[in-house]
C-alpha cells in the first residue's frame, strides 16, 4: 500500500447505518480519476455498520464507545484525514463514478473556494433535485419558522435555478453537509466543526465561518450524488430529535444572531416543545382508550 497521502479523504459518521453504509462505500470505492481513502467514525451502532465499513480495504474505522453525535464524530474523521480535500458524506448517499474527481478539479481551478456541494438527487422526491436546501443564510425568522413549518409567515426560500449540464460554480451562503466537499486546509483554518452543535445547524455555522474567513462556498451543478435521506434519524424518537433541534438552534442563534434573537427563539422553542408534548400526550391517551375498548370488546 502506498504511503503517499491521497488526494481525497471521505469522512462518514455512522449510527445504526447498516442498511445504507455498504452501498455508500461501494460507490466511494468506484470513484474514477482520484486517489482516495475513507474514514468511518461509528457512534456505537448496535447493528453491523462498523463491520461493513471495515470490510472495505480503503476504509479506516474509528469506533466510539458511545454516541458523541455528528459534529464531534466528524471532527475525529477530519483530523485523521490525510487528503488535500475532504468530503463530509452521509452514509445514506450514493456517488456517481466521476463525482469526486469533478469536484476536486473544480476546487483546483478555483483556489478561492473553500467548500462546495454538487447536485443532490433525492429518492424521496421521486428523483427531483433537492439540494441546495440551505442556500441562503438563515435569519431569526427562518429559524423560528423551522420550528413549525405551518406558520404562515415563515420565510420561503426561492429555489436556486438548476442547470445540471452547466459546470459553473455558483456562490451560496450555506451548503448541506450531507455532501460537503472542502479543502482540508480551509476547514482546519476555521477550526473544523463547532462541537457545541450535536446534530443540526452544523453546516450553517461552518459555512458562516468559511465566508467570514474569506473563502467562497459554492454549488457545482455538473456533479451528482443520490441521497436517500435521514435514514439514521428515522430510528431515533422524534421528541428527542425535536429537543436536539431546539438546543442546536439556540446555539446558532446565540453565536450568529445575538442574544435578543436567541431570547426570542428560546421563548418560542419552549412553547413549541410544550405543544409537541401536548399533542403526543393526547395521541398516547387516545391510543390507550382504543386499546381498552378493544380489550373490553374481546372480553364481552
The answer to whether the predicted template modeling score (pTM) of the entire model surpasses 0.75 is yes
Tell me: pLDDT of 162 over 50: no
Between 283 and 192, the higher pLDDT residue: 192
Percent of the chain with pLDDT over 70: 66
Given a contact cutoff of 8 angstroms between Cβ atoms, the answer to whether 228 and 93 are in contact is yes
Question: Which residue in the block uniquely carries the three cell numbers 490525510?
Answer: 82
Question: Read out DSSP for 232-300?
Answer: TGGGS-HHHHHHHHHHHHHHHHHHHT-HHHHHHHHHHHHHHHHHHHHHHHHHHHHHHHHHHHHHHHHH-
- 55 phi and psi, to 5 degrees? -75, -15
263-270: long-range pairs with CB below 8 Å, 24+ = 264/140, 264/144, 265/140, 265/143, 265/144, 268/144, 268/147, 269/147
| Interval 185-190 mean pLDDT | 98
pLDDT of amino acid 133: 44
274-290 confidence digits (pLDDT tens): 555 555 556 655 665 56
Tell me: pLDDT of 55 over 90: yes
Tell me: pLDDT of 178 over 50: yes
pLDDT of amino acid 158: 46
Q: How would residue 150 be classed by pLDDT, with cut points 50, 70 and 90?
A: very low
Mean pLDDT over each residue of the chain, to the nearest integer: 80
Q: How would residue 98 be classed by pLDDT, with cut points 50, 70 and 90?
A: very high
pLDDT of amino acid 134: 44
pLDDT of amino acid 181: 98
228-261 confidence digits (pLDDT tens): 876 555 556 666 677 677 777 877 877 877 666 6
Which three-class secondary structure state does DSSP give residue 26? helix
CB-based contacts of 53, cutoff 8 Å, min separation 6: 12, 14, 21, 25, 38, 40, 42, 59, 61
Q: How would residue 198 be classed by pLDDT, with cut points 50, 70 and 90?
A: confident
Report the range out of 81-90, 115-124, 269-278 with the highest average pLDDT. Answer: 81-90
Distances (CA, A) of 121 to 91, 96, 200: 15, 11, 21
Please give the Cα distance from 104 to 86 (Å, whole number).
10
Is residue 101 reached through a cis peptide bond, with omega within 30 degrees of 0 on the bond before it? no
Amino acid at each position: 500500500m502506498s504511503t503517499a497521502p491521497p488526494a481525497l479523504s471521505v469522512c462518514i459518521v455512522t449510527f445504526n447505518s447498516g442498511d445504507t453504509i455498504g452501498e455508500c462505500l461501494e460507490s466511494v470505492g468506484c470513484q474514477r480519476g482520484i486517489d482516495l481513502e475513507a474514514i468511518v467514525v461509528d457512534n456505537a451502532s448496535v447493528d453491523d455498520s462498523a463491520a461493513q465499513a471495515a470490510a472495505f480495504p480503503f476504509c479506516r474505522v474509528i469506533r466510539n464507545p458511545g454516541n458523541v453525535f455528528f459534529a464531534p464524530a466528524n471532527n475525529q474523521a477530519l483530523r485523521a484525514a490525510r487528503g488535500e480535500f475532504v468530503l463530509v458524506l452521509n452514509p445514506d448517499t450514493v456517488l456517481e463514478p466521476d463525482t469526486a474527481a469533478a469536484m476536486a478539479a473544480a476546487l483546483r481551478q478555483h483556489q478561492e473556494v473553500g467548500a462546495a456541494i454538487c447536485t443532490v438527487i433525492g429518492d424521496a422526491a421521486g428523483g427531483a433535485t433537492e439540494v441546495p436546501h440551505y442556500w441562503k443564510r438563515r435569519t431569526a425568522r427562518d429559524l423560528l419558522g423551522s420550528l413549525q413549518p405551518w406558520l404562515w409567515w415563515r420565510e420561503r426560500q426561492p429555489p436556486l435555478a438548476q442547470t445540471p449540464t452547466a459546470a459553473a460554480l455558483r456562490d451560496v451562503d450555506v451548503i448541506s453537509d450531507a455532501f460537503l466537499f472542502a479543502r482540508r486546509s480551509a476547514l482546519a483554518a476555521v477550526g473544523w466543526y463547532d462541537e457545541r452543535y450535536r446534530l443540526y445547524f452544523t453546516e450553517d455555522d461552518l459555512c458562516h465561518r468559511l465566508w467570514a474567513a474569506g473563502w467562497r462556498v459554492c454549488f457545482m451543478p455538473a456533479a451528482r450524488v443520490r441521497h436517500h435521506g435521514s435514514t439514521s434519524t428515522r430510528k431515533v424518537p422524534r421528541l428527542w430529535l425535536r429537543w436536539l433541534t431546539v438546543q442546536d438552534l439556540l446555539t446558532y442563534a446565540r453565536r450568529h444572531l445575538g442574544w435578543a434573537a436567541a431570547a426570542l427563539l428560546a421563548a418560542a422553542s419552549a412553547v413549541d416543545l410544550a405543544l409537541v408534548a401536548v399533542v403526543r400526550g393526547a395521541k398516547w391517551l387516545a391510543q390507550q382508550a382504543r386499546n381498552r375498548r378493544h380489550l373490553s370488546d374481546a372480553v364481552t
